[in-house]
Amino acid sequence: MSRTDRIVTVPFALTFASAFFVFLAIGMLLPVLPLYATGPLGEGDLGVGLAVGMSSPTALVFQPLAGRLGDRRGRRLLIVAGSLVMAVSIAGYTLAGTLGALVVLRLLTGIGEALVFVGTGTVVADLAPAERRGEALSLYTIGFWSALAIGPVLGEALLGGDRFEAVWIAAASAALLGALAGLALPETRPETTEASFGKLLHPAAIRPGLVLVSAVVGFAGFNAFVALYAQELGLDGAAPLFVVFAVIVVTIRVLGRRIPDRLGPKRASGVALVLLASGLLVVGVWSSPVGLYAGVVIFAAGQALAFPSLMTLAIADAPVANRSSVVGTFTAFADVGFAVGAISLGAVADAAGYEGVFLTAAAASLAGLFVLARIPAHGPAQPVGAS
pLDDT at 169 over 90: yes
**Chain length of the chain:** 387
Instruction: Identify the CA nearest to 188 among candidates 326, 6, 386, 12.
Output: 12
218 is a domain residue: yes
- Distance from C-alpha of 225 to C-alpha of 231, rounded to nearest angstrom: 10
Domain co-membership, 140 together with 277: no
Model pLDDT, residue 359: 92
- Distance from C-alpha of 344 to C-alpha of 220, rounded to nearest angstrom: 10
pLDDT tens digits for range 143-164: 877 887 788 888 888 888 788 9
Domain co-membership, 9 together with 105: yes
193 is a domain residue: no
- Distance from C-alpha of 107 to C-alpha of 56, rounded to nearest angstrom: 8
Which residue among 152, 183, 214 closes a domain? 183
Model pLDDT, residue 173: 96
Domain of 44 in residue numbering reads as 3-183
- Distance from C-alpha of 37 to C-alpha of 44, rounded to nearest angstrom: 8
Domain co-membership, 365 together with 218: yes
282 is a domain residue: yes
pLDDT tens digits for range 234-268: 887 666 787 788 888 888 888 888 888 888 888 99
Model pLDDT, residue 377: 67
Model pLDDT, residue 15: 92
Sequence-ordered list of residues with C-beta below 8 angstroms from that of 311, at least 6 positions apart, any chain: 121, 125, 137, 208, 327, 330, 331
Taking each continuous run of H as one helix and of E as one strand, the counts in the chain are 14, 0
- The mean of the pLDDT values for the chain is 82
Domain co-membership, 142 together with 207: no
User: Of the given ranges (136-140, 169-173, 220-224), which has the lowest mean pLDDT?
Assistant: 220-224
CATH number of the domain bearing residue 234: 1.20.1250.20
268 is a domain residue: yes
What is the number of structural domains in the chain? 2
- Distance from C-alpha of 383 to C-alpha of 385, rounded to nearest angstrom: 6
pLDDT band at 45 (very low <50, low <70, confident <90, very high): low
pLDDT at 387 over 70: no
- Distance from C-alpha of 272 to C-alpha of 216, rounded to nearest angstrom: 12
233 is a domain residue: yes
Domain co-membership, 170 together with 245: no
Phi-psi region of 48 (alpha: psi -120 to 50; beta: other; left: phi over 0): alpha
Which residue among 155, 183, 211 closes a domain? 183
Domain co-membership, 38 together with 171: yes
**CA torsion 346→349→355→357, rounded to 10°?**
-20
Which amino acid appears at position 172 of this protein? A
Which residue among 151, 183, 215 closes a domain? 183
Domain co-membership, 174 together with 103: yes
- Distance from C-alpha of 336 to C-alpha of 332, rounded to nearest angstrom: 7
